[in-house]
Amino acid sequence: GCKDDINATIINFNNEKMQITWATRELFPNENVSFSYTFDEGKHKVWKPCTTYLLDQDYNSGCLFKTEGPTLAISIRNNNGTEELFCKKFKSDFYIKPNRPENVTFFWEEDTITVSCKKPERAAWCLRLELQYKSKFDEEWHSRTSKCCSVKEQGFDSSKCYSFRVRLRRLVPYCNVVNYSSDWEAETFWKNGTLLDSCDDDITSQSNTVTVLSCLLAALLMMLILLILLCKWQRVRMSVLPAIPDPKYLFADLFNDHNGNVQEWLDKNDHVVLQTKLQYEEPESITEAESQQEDGKNSDKQGPLEKIFTFSGAAENSDDKAAQIACLIPASNTTASFAGFHILMNDDMYVML
């Protein structure tokens, strides 16, 4: 007899097409074997050679052919066909891999979903419809299985976007000896009963919200920092560069009332100008005046001193010589005269020119 313990993979695609594969490099190294099959039973079998081989590095590693009945016998021989290397007989119906579910529909009712598909024409009782779903917060799929061809699940959150996929499974061991399932139907995306193109929009919207909030917080923080720096800069600037009063407010009446006529303004405000000059004399002049006054008293104690100071005509005519500066220390109720002004002075007053 032939060897039947060789490991071969048998798949019956929806009872339409058979695929038999084997590990040729391990089982038949450096040998290109031949494959034949038959669905006939009894003594008069007609063996058919494989017409569509599957290759592994130019060596035959499998065969693809049409499913023609429930019972299948296969044979693998050497290249010449003189020696049978492997043979096996089995029920092809026990190796069925179903097709993807067709016409899948989703029905939503509040937090409950019912998924259905088209019922296959044969052996529908051997099939189960499997539903898997997950939200963007789930790392693994949640699974729910029911008899063909409808499955119901509840507890969905209307604020979340879910991914759904379905497939058909063949029952083991009642219908299959191998646990074959169909490929997954195309994945769909739902949120609150509405079909979406993807759940990326839901993730992007939340990501955009987080980004906007982060930008607003960053902007507020920057404004606060700039405000603090501005306040500190104002303090530094005021300490280093104190504010200089604007002179236009001191001489506003010169331009508003006298149209810039200095002589007219002086004639009207001569006493105000003189008083201002007396009030804003520098402390150094006071010290100098007091020193001169002491010297005068020590030199002459016979009565009050009376000194008259005048300006030379050269100073009035803007000569090259500098104007002379004199300090007057008058006695009580002494009258001092200069530039046409007459000033009544006492012991507590001084003048610096």
pLDDT at 304: 43
d(CA 59, CA 81): 16
pLDDT-wise least confident of 22-26, 141-145, 148-152, 168-172: 22-26
Is the model's pLDDT at 239 over the cut of 90? no
Q: Mind listing the pLDDT tens digit for each residue in 150-201?
A: 999 999 999 999 999 999 999 999 999 999 999 999 999 999 999 999 998 6
Of 291 and 89, the structure prediction assigns the larger pLDDT to: 89
pLDDT-wise least confident of 66-75, 103-112, 190-199, 260-269: 260-269
d(CA 303, CA 294): 14
Domains of the chain are 8-97 (2.60.40.10), 104-196 (2.60.40.10)
The residue whose two tokens read 């074997």 is 33
